[in-house]
Amino acid sequence: MPRPGRSGPAHALRYPIGYSKGMDDWSRLLQLARQDSGVSQLELARRAGTSRPTLSAYEHGRKAPTADTLERLLAAAGFRIAAAPLVSWREVSLGRGRSCWVPDRLWRLPVVEAFADVVLPLELNWSTPGRRFVTRDRRERARLYEVLLREGAPGDLQRWVDGVLLVDVWDDLVLPRAVRDAWQPTMDADLGLRGRSASGAEAALGAVS
């Protein structure tokens, strides 16, 4: 991964066009960028020309950075911000008081998040509480995605599901018919990219195997 002072493009942190969420999201963005770059708060603050307490306040949501400050901090960690289409959600009734959330398009996660081990909270994974899903394993990732598509809210889905990796396992997911039918139009909308997306998924998987 490029570091400040080395040649090569910065990694892009994609934020949706129309994004308007609060400080919690900016703080998480900064934390992820710094952790992925492998530097301490003290070192990142030094590179960006600020203090460690100030950076800590940004990362914990106690203070909001200006756009220029955020850009400088991310650049010091080897990242830049890029715009991505805004994902819209609708709640679909499944009958008997149950529902699921369905997006109008798929999205991507940073590789470090897409392949991170996941332990879901009890309200999502009540059948096997505490289970650790090793998402580098395709079968375990499929089981994780089954739980999330059945039980997850938009925030859960966008935190743990990667669109390309979802396309890769879609045909193998064991889902209630109503959930699959609700998601199928979104998947169909990406069918023209499916071959390329699957190849991208295979390349990503190969890179971490």
pLDDT band at 1 (very low <50, low <70, confident <90, very high): very low
In this model, does residue 209 exceed pLDDT 90? no
Residue 25's pLDDT is 72
| Cα(27)–Cα(5) distance, integer angstroms | 24
**Domain spans in the chain, listed from the N-terminal domain onward:** 11-84, 89-208
pLDDT computed for residue 81 by the predictor = 81
The C-alpha atoms of residue 38 and residue 60 are separated, in whole angstroms, by 18
Work out the number of other CB atoms within 10 angstroms of the CB of residue 173: 16
Percent of the chain surpassing pLDDT 90: 66
Which long-range contacts link 172-177 to residues 24+ away (Cβ below 8 Å)? 172/142, 173/142, 173/145, 173/146, 173/149, 174/146, 175/146, 175/149, 175/150, 176/94, 176/150
Q: Residue 73 above 70 pLDDT?
A: yes
Q: If you average pLDDT over residues 175-194, what whole number do you get?
A: 86
Tokens (6 digits) for 27: 């703080």
For residue 26, what pLDDT band results from cuts at 50, 70 and 90?
confident
Tens of pLDDT along 120-177? 999 999 999 999 999 999 999 999 999 999 999 999 999 999 999 999 999 999 999 9
Q: 11-84 has which CATH code?
A: 1.10.260.40
pLDDT for 85 beyond 70 = yes
pLDDT grade, residue 28 (50/70/90)? confident
The lowest-confidence range among 42-46, 53-57, 79-83, 167-171 is: 79-83
